[in-house]
């Protein structure tokens, strides 16, 4: 087996770093989190010439080694800690041919750490179009490096890059310039105080608030305390350093880069004027959103119906093929429906990530973030909060994961806490069946009452999310630097490979993240509904047959009554009866209580639970509706599902935190149980109060 080397892929956001990573690793990649923090860690394996394997780490995008966010800190901590198992043998800095000047600032800083560093100039296929020409030999000489001209779109330059990575020992570690000249006396003192340390590493330790892992704590404290200058003086020195680096970069590019502006005409400026316009920008964004959601529901309905019927058939087949008993029931009624409950959402999740990935790859999403920042900032959110709030309409889990690129911890936390208010696809089955029962089918201005009710529920969810953010911004006393910088990348056609890999990775993350929890809860619910204490449960058959002995009921009706009796006296039935006094003021009975408790695993379980409770097969939705419509309120008389109780139930599900998987992901993203517990208590209390008021007023 050949040697394995560590390669760190580093670069500014929007330089095509992910495209280079995908071109090098293909499907040999995995996504996790850095230990102890929630920043995403992408790594993969690449085969190099002469049997060498490269372990490639795709580091978060950063503009410089002066960190301003959680993910930028990750880059510095890795580059300063030689004891880290991922410490790079070689750094590959990815730059964009159109923004070379800005990208080279980070490159010159990494060179000062004396790590072998290759410069990748990406999007080389745009050089002719933009009128850019480069003197590669001159640039290599002045920057003390090797350069790979790459076009991931045309699949050019990747083999050359692999050769350069394999020959990393031949690459100079000499810095590009002497940055310590900005204050010679200060840096001479620093060098004398710590003669065995790299000077630029010491400077970063003094100026950055980062954690250095297994590096000697005493040593770091000594360096950090070497602050003979005030914070303001250190800030001025950092600015001087940046100016000195740009002076060097300008001098290099004067000779090494030629731009013929006559050839550099494009539509970007004209397009930006339209898509970030204070009126047209929002209108375009609204149309795109409506198109996306319509497509998600239209396109996913066929595969979702297929998955639903496939799992129902598999359940029936299992019951027929295996011997009667608890194990068969567990498989057919617990595990298989549990798996179905996860798999059925794959089409919607995949389509959502497909559209978001296309918007990001094309460069449009950065414009949306810029556009929405004007509104969101008033409510304590960032423009970047828009992406999670939009994603939340499919599922809150990936939406909460999408908050990772929000720099301010306060804005990120607020976004995480309010995202579950947006109406997710799991609420749709609940909404559709209740709306069909309690809202009449008339129309106003050509729009159906039922369709308007559904749209209103979406708007209410988003409105409460934004209003909650405003309140949290006033309440939370978290000191957090808040500023807004967003890159406006060029518009480009999305790369199919990048989009496909994003969809596969994100969907896989949802299935295995939420899936384990949903499956476990499904098994627990099956157990609670299939077993019960005492005579009433164990002798259900004898009790029912004795009770209806004179009525000569058909065998199917007898079996249904036995199943209903067992359910009522099972563990979950007892739970339903226990909570009935608390939910009766909302217009619900113990059966709805069971559905509410069971749907804590996942909201969409509500309809399935009701189908079981009413002892009706779930093949025909009409039958479930008719049976539910015929239920009588035991206290008030009349239909149980009337306008008052229906609206109460809709509002309860609009606001309640009825999703264990979301709580688990909030715990993971905040590294604390405090926030998900607060979320559960506050959202559920608010849902209860609103549902109570709605029922009491409308009844």
Of the listed ranges 166-175, 412-421, 454-463, 552-561, the one predicted with least confidence:
552-561
Query: How many CB atoms neighbour CB 221 within 10 A?
Result: 11
Quick one: average pLDDT of 371-381? 80
Exposed, middle or buried, 619 (CB in 10 Å: 0-12/13-18/19+)?
exposed
d(CA 23, CA 25): 6
pLDDT at 90: 94
pLDDT at 677: 94
Quick one: average pLDDT of 89-107? 92
HSE (side-chain half, CA atoms, 13 Å) at 406: 31
Structure tokens that stand for 216 in this block = 């000697």
d(CA 436, CA 629): 10
Q: What one-character DSSP code corresponds to residue 489?
A: P
pLDDT grade, residue 464 (50/70/90)? Answer: very high
pLDDT at 574: 87
d(CA 591, CA 584): 11
What is the distance in angstroms between the CA of the first residue and the CA of the last residue of the chain? Answer: 75
8 Å CB contact between 606 and 599: yes
Query: Residues 553, 557, 559, CA angle at the centre, nearest 5°?
Result: 115
Q: 1-263 in CATH: which number?
A: 3.40.50.300
pLDDT grade, residue 121 (50/70/90)? Answer: very high
pLDDT grade, residue 2 (50/70/90)? Answer: low
Q: What is the largest CA-CA distance in the chain?
A: 105
| Percent of the chain whose predicted confidence (pLDDT) is above 70 | 83
Structure tokens that stand for 243 in this block = 């100016």
Closest among 433, 361, 359, 441 to 610, alpha carbons compared: 433
Q: Which residue has the higher pLDDT, 110 or 370?
A: 110
pLDDT at 419: 92
Flag whether pLDDT at 520 surpasses 90: no
Q: Which residue has the higher pLDDT, 599 or 638?
A: 599
Q: Which of 298-302, 345-349, 503-507, 678-682 has the highest mean pLDDT?
A: 678-682
User: Residues near 452 by Cβ (< 8 Å), separated by ≥ 6?
Assistant: 444
Quick one: average pLDDT of 479-491? 63
Residue 134 phi, psi dihedral angles, 5° rounding: -125, 140
pLDDT at 439: 83
User: Residues near 228 by Cβ (< 8 Å), separated by ≥ 6?
Assistant: 186, 189
HSE (side-chain half, CA atoms, 13 Å) at 145: 29
8 Å CB contact between 587 and 633: yes
Q: How many residues does the chain have?
A: 699
Structure tokens that stand for 469 in this block = 């953010």
Angle in degrees, 0-180, between the axes of helices 100-111 and 136-143, rounded to the nearest 10: 40
H/E stretch holding 669: helix 660-670
Strand 90-96 relative to strand 4-11, pairing: parallel
Flag whether pLDDT at 425 surpasses 80: no
Quick one: average pLDDT of 428-435? 78
pLDDT grade, residue 75 (50/70/90)? Answer: confident
Flag whether pLDDT at 263 surpasses 60: no
Of the listed ranges 143-157, 475-489, 568-582, the one predicted with least confidence:
475-489
**Domain ranges (residues) in the chain:** 1-263, 280-475
Closest among 405, 299, 394 to 360, alpha carbons compared: 405
d(CA 7, CA 148): 15
Q: What is the pLDDT of residues 582-608, one digit of tens each?
A: 998 998 888 788 788 877 776 766 766
Quick one: average pLDDT of 262-280? 73
Flag whether pLDDT at 615 surpasses 60: no
Of the listed ranges 349-358, 370-379, 440-449, the one predicted with least confidence:
440-449
Tell me the DSSP string of 200-264: HHHHHHHH-----TTS-HHHHHHHHT---S-HHHHHHHHHHHHHHHHHHHHHHHHHHEEE-GGG-
pLDDT at 36: 46
d(CA 617, CA 560): 10
Q: What is the pLDDT of residues 436-463, one digit of tens each?
A: 788 887 777 666 777 778 778 888 998 9
Flag whether pLDDT at 39 surpasses 60: no
Angle in degrees, 0-180, between the axes of helices 231-256 and 136-143, rounded to the nearest 10: 150
Quick one: average pLDDT of 372-383? 79
pLDDT at 305: 78
pLDDT at 680: 93
Of the listed ranges 470-484, 564-578, 649-663, the one predicted with least confidence:
470-484
Closest among 686, 691, 599 to 645, alpha carbons compared: 691
3-class DSSP assignment, residue 325:
coil
* DSSP-assigned beta bridge partners for residue 11: 94
| Percent of the chain whose predicted confidence (pLDDT) is above 90 | 20
pLDDT at 7: 94
3-class DSSP assignment, residue 597:
helix
pLDDT at 349: 73
d(CA 119, CA 103): 10
Q: Which residue has the higher pLDDT, 316 or 509?
A: 316
Residue 510 phi, psi dihedral angles, 5° rounding: -65, -50
User: Residues near 218 by Cβ (< 8 Å), separated by ≥ 6?
Assistant: none
Average pLDDT over the chain, rounded to an integer:
80
Of the listed ranges 69-78, 343-352, 441-450, 678-687, the one predicted with least confidence:
441-450
How many angstroms from the chain centroid is the CA of residue 434?
30
Cα dist from 469 to 337, 353, 366, 412, 419, whole Å: 36, 25, 22, 11, 9
3-class DSSP assignment, residue 497:
helix
pLDDT at 147: 92
């Amino acid at each position: 087996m050949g040697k394995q080397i560590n390669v760190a892929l580093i670069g500014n956001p929007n330089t095509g770093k992910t495209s280079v990573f995908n071109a090098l690793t293909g499907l040999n990649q995995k996504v996790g989190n850095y230990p102890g923090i929630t920043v995403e860690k992408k790594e993969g394996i690449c085969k190099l010439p002469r049997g060498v394997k490269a372990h490639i780490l795709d580091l978060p995008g950063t503009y410089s080694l002066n960190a301003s966010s959680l993910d930028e800190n990750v880059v510095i901590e890795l580059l300063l800690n030689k004891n880290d198992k991922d410490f790079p043998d070689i750094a590959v800095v990815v730059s964009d041919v159109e923004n070379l000047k800005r990208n080279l600032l980070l490159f010159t800083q990494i060179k000062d750490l004396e790590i072998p560093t290759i410069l990748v100039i990406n999007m080389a296929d745009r050089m002719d179009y933009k009128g850019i020409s480069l003197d590669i030999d001159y640039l290599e000489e002045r920057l003390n490096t090797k350069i790979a001209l790459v076009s991931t779109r045309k699949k050019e330059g990747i083999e050359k890059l692999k050769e350069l990575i394999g020959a990393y020992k031949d690459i100079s570690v000499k810095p590009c310039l002497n940055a310590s000249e900005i204050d010679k006396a200060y840096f001479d003192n620093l060098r004398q105080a710590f003669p065995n340390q790299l000077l630029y590493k010491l400077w970063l330790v003094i100026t950055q608030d980062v954690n250095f892992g297994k590096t000697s704590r005493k040593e770091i404290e000594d360096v950090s305390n070497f602050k003979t200058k005030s914070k303001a003086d250190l800030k001025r020195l950092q600015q001087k350093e940046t100016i000195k680096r740009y002076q060097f970069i300008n001098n290099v590019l004067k000779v090494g880069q030629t731009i013929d502006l006559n050839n550099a005409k494009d539509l970007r400026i004209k397009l930006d004027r339209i898509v970030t316009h204070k009126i047209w920008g929002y209108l375009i964004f609204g149309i795109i959103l409506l198109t996306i959601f319509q497509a998600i529901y239209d396109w996913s309905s066929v595969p979702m119906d297929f998955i639903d019927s496939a799992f129902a058939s598999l359940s029936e087949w299992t019951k027929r093929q295996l011997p009667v008993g608890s194990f068969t029931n567990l498989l057919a009624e617990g595990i298989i429906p549990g798996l179905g409950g996860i798999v059925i959402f794959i089409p919607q999740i995949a389509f959502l990530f497909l559209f978001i990935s296309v918007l990001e790859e094309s460069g449009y999403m950065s414009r949306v973030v810029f556009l929405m920042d004007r509104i969101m900032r008033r409510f304590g959110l960032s423009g970047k909060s828009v992406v999670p709030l939009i994603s939340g309409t499919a599922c809150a889990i990936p939406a909460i994961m999408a908050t990772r690129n929000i720099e301010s911890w306060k804005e990120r936390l607020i976004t995480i806490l309010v995202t579950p208010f947006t109406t997710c696809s799991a609420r749709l089955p609940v909404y559709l069946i209740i709306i069909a029962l309690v809202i009449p089918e008339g129309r106003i201005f050509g729009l159906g009452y039922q369709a308007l009710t559904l749209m209103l529920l979406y708007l209410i969810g988003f409105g409460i999310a934004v209003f909650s953010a405003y309140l949290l911004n006033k309440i939370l006393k978290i000191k957090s630097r808040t500023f807004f910088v967003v890159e406006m990348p060029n518009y480009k056609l999305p790369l199919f490979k990048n989009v496909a890999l994003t969809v596969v990775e994100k969907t896989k993350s949802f299935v295995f993240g939420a899936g384990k929890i949903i499956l476990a809860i499904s098994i627990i619910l099956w157990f609670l509904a299939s077993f019960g204490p005492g005579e009433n449960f164990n002798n259900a058959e004898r009790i029912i047959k004795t009770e209806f002995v004179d009525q000569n009921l058909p065998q199917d009706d007898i079996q249904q009554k036995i199943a209903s009796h067992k359910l009522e006296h099972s563990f979950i039935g007892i739970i339903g009866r226990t909570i009935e006094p608390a939910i009766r003021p909302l217009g619900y009975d113990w059966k709805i209580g069971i559905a509410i408790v069971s749907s804590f695993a996942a909201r969409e379980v509500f309809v399935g639970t009701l189908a079981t409770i009413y002892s009706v097969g779930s093949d025909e939705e009409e039958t479930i509706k008719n049976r539910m419509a015929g239920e009588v309120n035991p206290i008030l008389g009349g239909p149980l599902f009337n306008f008052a109780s229906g609206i109460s139930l809709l509002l309860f599900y609009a606001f309640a935190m009825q999703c264990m998987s979301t709580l688990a992901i909030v715990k993971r993203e905040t590294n604390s149980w405090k926030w998900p517990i607060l979320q559960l208590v506050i959202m559920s209390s608010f849902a209860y109060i609103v549902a109570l008021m709605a029922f009491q007023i409308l009844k």
